[in-house]
Amino acid sequence: VQLVESGGGLVQPGGSLRLSCAASGFTFSDHHMEWVRQAPGKGLEWVGRSGDKGNSYTTEYAASVKGRFTISRDDSKNLLYLQMNSLKSEDTAVYYCSRGIWEWGQGTLVTVSS
């Protein structure tokens, strides 16, 4: 199993960014996927989930990002996405994708600053 995040970078407050997570080594459509973030020097915070095919790809979000972030996936390309809009300084973090509780990617850093 391999998960590789990309798309992080520096963005101004109020801006947008789309993260990607490329998955390999397992049947992507059979698994729900999570986004988890970690602010610098802080603990882990769940961002949201994309349900699997059997769960009709239901998405769920943390209250802190609901209405601003959107999770989607492309099972034909084994890709998971996190569209982040109206970014705030408190969204600055390393963003990880994970296959349920099992494997995690190395993360991609998002910095929201002017």
Partner 1 sequence: DIVMTQSPDSLAVSLGERATINCKSSQSVLYSSNNKNYLAWYQQKLGQPPRLLIYWASTRESGVPDRFSGSESGTDFTLTISSLQAEDAAVYYCQQYYSTPITFGQGTRLEI
Contacts with partner 1 by CB under 8 A lie at: 34, 43-46, 49, 60, 62-63, 96, 100-107
Distance CA 64, CA 62 (A): 5
Q: Which is nearer to partner 1, 43 or 67 (CB)?
A: 43
Nearer to partner 1, 81 or 95 (CB): 95
Q: Please state the closest distance from residue 45 (CB atom) to partner 1, in A.
A: 7
Q: What is the smallest separation between the CB atom of 12 and partner 1, expressed in angstroms?
A: 27
Task: Please tell me the distance from the alpha carbon of residue 27 to that of residue 114, in angstroms, as a whole number.
Answer: 40
Q: Are the CB atoms for 36 and 22 separated by under 8 Å?
A: no
Choose between 26 and 104: whose C-beta lies nearer to partner 1.
Answer: 104
How far apart CA 70 and CA 82 sit, in angstroms, is: 6
Alpha-carbon distance of 40 to 3, in angstroms, equals 21
Q: Least distance in Å: CB of 74 to partner 1?
A: 23
